[in-house]
Structure 1
Amino acid sequence: MTTFTDPHLSLVRPVEPRTPQGCEECLAVGTPWMHLRMCLTCGHVGCCDSSPNRHAGTTARPIVQSFEPGEDWRYCFIDEAVV
């Protein structure tokens, strides 16, 4: 079995959520979101691809982690892979 080790995991830093109450951009303009993701390099909290505005998904924030209660998975937008 081959194990994929994402080289972008080296970018992960200890971060605090910048807006723990919700998506940073959606909060600023008053729009709804579905699920939240937090960037593990800067602490940005954004809404997922199922949300109307999709603020989490960008290669500028390469590694995100689910910001949903009970979830701890991570995703690399550069490699488009769960890590």
Structure 2
Amino acid sequence: MTSDTGIDPAVPPSGPGCAACDAVDGWWFHLRRCASCGHIGCCDSSPGQHATAHFRTTGHPVVQSFEPDEDWYWDYATEEVRESGPELAPPRSHPEDQPSPGPAGRVPADWARTLRR
């Protein structure tokens, strides 16, 4: 059940990468996990900015980093980082053998020049 903070700790992530990028053979810089529904989207530095697009479409305000060894949250409603929050259902990050940027084989050689700032 989603709390008044917009976080549902029981819902698993939607997959190992950004589904919207996967649908168009795109790539991402870093991944974010919707804390309400588990949707995995790419960060705002990524070409697609799908995590923010998910927030705009659904109104789900909180995402957590989906990168290994990161557990911070971002609240789109307040535009603030949350250093802590409830532990979400596993897995807590994309597979450790999946590179960032990723996924392997789809990241252009000049990826750093194409990051959004």
Structure 2 spans left out of the alignment, 5+ residues: 83-117
More strand by share: 1
> Which residue identity does 1:17 align to in structure 2?
P
Q: Note if 1:26 corresponds to 2:24.
A: no
Q: Note if 1:66 corresponds to 2:82.
A: no
Q: Distance in 2 between matches of 1:78 and 1:19?
A: 25
How many residue pairs match? The answer is 75
Q: Is the 8 A contact 2:6 2:60 kept in 1?
A: no
Q: Distance in 1 between matches of 2:24 and 2:63?
A: 22
TM-score by length of 1: 0.83
Superposition pairs for residues 1-83 of structure 1, below 5 Å?
A: 10-13=5-8, 14-20=10-16, 22-57=17-52, 58-59=55-56, 60-83=59-82
Q: Write out per-residue CA displacement over residues 19-54 of structure 1, whole angstroms, 9 at most, x where no aligned residue.
A: 22x101001111011000000000000000000010
TM-score by length of 2: 0.60
Q: Is the 8 A contact 1:48 1:55 kept in 2?
A: yes
Post-superposition offset of 1:61: 2.5
Q: Is the 8 A contact 1:9 1:63 kept in 2?
A: no
Structure 1 spans left out of the alignment, 5+ residues: 1-7
Q: Is the 8 A contact 1:35 1:48 kept in 2?
A: yes
Q: Distance in 2 between matches of 1:17 and 1:56?
A: 13
* RMSD between superposed Cα atoms in Å: 1.5
User: Is the radius of gyration larger for structure 1 or structure 2?
Assistant: 2
